[in-house]
Amino acid sequence: MKTKPVKLYDYQFSGNGYKIRLALAQLKLEVEVVNLDLLKGETWTLEFFAKNPMGQIPVLELEDGKFLRESNAILYYLTRNTDLMPVNLMGQTEVLQWMFFEQSNIDKVLGRTRFLKAFPDFREITNSEWEEWYSAGNKALKVLDEHLSKTSFLVSDAYSSADICLYGYVHTANEGGFELENYPSIQKWLENVRSTPCFTPQYE
């Protein structure tokens, strides 16, 4: 039994928030969106810590008053028992494999470089840090490109929440200084994702 989501705490720049907006749109679920400005500390309040002690968006509020956090866990909740999640355990495990891959190698690398390019005063970054991120990010993009050279979507050739998860930060990789031009299969896949029913872009 799934409880109806009613409110999304979000920050429009965030790829993690966008994953949830995209899934909700494609599942035709309407919720109230509350935008909080991370940079002004709006998620670092006692009121918000009660929703997520890590002080991070996205947080999804359910009708029964529960709060879900961690974008990929929220995706799992929303898409289980829908067309966006395989029905069998192996398919679900493959979706999660890509979600855990995304969190280490995409969110924490492509997402981070994008954030630091957009907000350069956030903190000082050494050359060796940038080099480590570009090396790790390009290694991950190469693995992704190779996989997508053989399939239209990440798991079982069918669009799923694994694609929504990866799309979140991969489609803005260039904003962080990566060059998607070098990854033709990823570019083709980005177009495949954009062609799915009820697709909605990050910025209106």
By CB under 8 A, name the binding residues for a copy of itself: 1-3, 53-54, 66, 68-74, 76-77, 80-81, 88-90, 92-94, 96-97, 99-101, 103-105, 107-108, 123-124, 126, 128-129, 139-140, 143, 146-147
Ramachandran category for residue 117: left, alpha or beta (phi over 0 → left; psi -120 to 50 → alpha): alpha
**55 vs 177, beta carbon nearer a copy of itself:** 55
- The residues facing 33 across adjacent strands are 8
In whole angstroms, the minimum distance from the beta carbon of 142 to a copy of itself comes to: 8
In whole angstroms, the minimum distance from the beta carbon of 167 to a copy of itself comes to: 17
**103 vs 187, beta carbon nearer a copy of itself:** 103
Measuring CA to CA, which residue among 156, 161, 153, 16 is closest to residue 79?
161
In whole angstroms, the minimum distance from the beta carbon of 194 to a copy of itself comes to: 25
The radius of gyration of the chain from alpha carbons, rounded to an integer in Å, stands at: 17
Measuring CA to CA, which residue among 23, 115, 90 is closest to residue 60?
23
Q: Tokens in use for 26?
A: 């494609």
**67 vs 199, beta carbon nearer a copy of itself:** 67
